[in-house]
Amino acid sequence: MSNGEHENTNESENQTDVETPTEAEQKTEAKGEEKNALNNILASIMEIKESKPKVFYGGIGAVVLVLIIILMSGGSDKELPVHQAKNIVVGQNYVLKSANAALPTAPVRLVSVPGSMAAYDDTEEEDRTGCKQIAPGTPVKVVQTQDAFGKKDAFVQVEMTDGECQGRKGWVLAINIQ
């Protein structure tokens, strides 16, 4: 390649670089075009507002009406699933399951008085030992039930039928009986 040819290619490359606008210039031009288009639309809307106010406000009303129809027509009529409480039979055998826990292996709290579920503090280490926290799946026998808060059989007194706590009695929430 001769020296003259090399110079020609450099000049053509330099000319190509100069002719193409940079990305910043392209973005600026695009923003300017968008602003012009927006200004044109706003100007035509304002012109309609001044010359034909009934058409202008009628159009706004139509848009609002369509939006209200769209918002009000959504949704479904399906009912949400409700926990079906089982009829608890005294003397029947069941298993414990922590229905409201995030973990399926969460223990069920066994208390000595019905209704004291919200009154205990589990921060003491001794509360986690013994027969106060029962593993899910433990077989139990229902001894008696108690109504509370206008709900039939809200609390259930159970007796452990298996394991190290066999024969021990305590109260649990009825939803923890499966």
Structural domain count of the chain: 2
More confident residue, 18 or 52: 52
| Residue 80 is assigned to a structural domain of this protein | no
* Residue listed under structure tokens 């090399």: 6
pLDDT at 114: 80
Query: How far, rounded to the nearest angstrom, does the alpha carbon of residue 36 sit from its chain's CA centroid?
Result: 42
Q: What is the mean pLDDT of residues 130-156?
A: 85
| Residue 77 is assigned to a structural domain of this protein | no
Task: Say whether both 67 and 19 belong to one domain.
Answer: yes
For the cut 70, the answer to whether the pLDDT of residue 127 exceeds it is no
* 3-state SS assignment for residue 83: coil
| Residue 26 is assigned to a structural domain of this protein | yes
Give the domain extent around 25.
3-72
| Residue 79 is assigned to a structural domain of this protein | no
Task: Say whether both 129 and 163 belong to one domain.
Answer: yes
| Residue 83 is assigned to a structural domain of this protein | no
| Residue 81 is assigned to a structural domain of this protein | no
Closest CA to 57 of 45, 46, 49: 49
Stated pTM of the model? 0.49
More confident residue, 16 or 46: 46
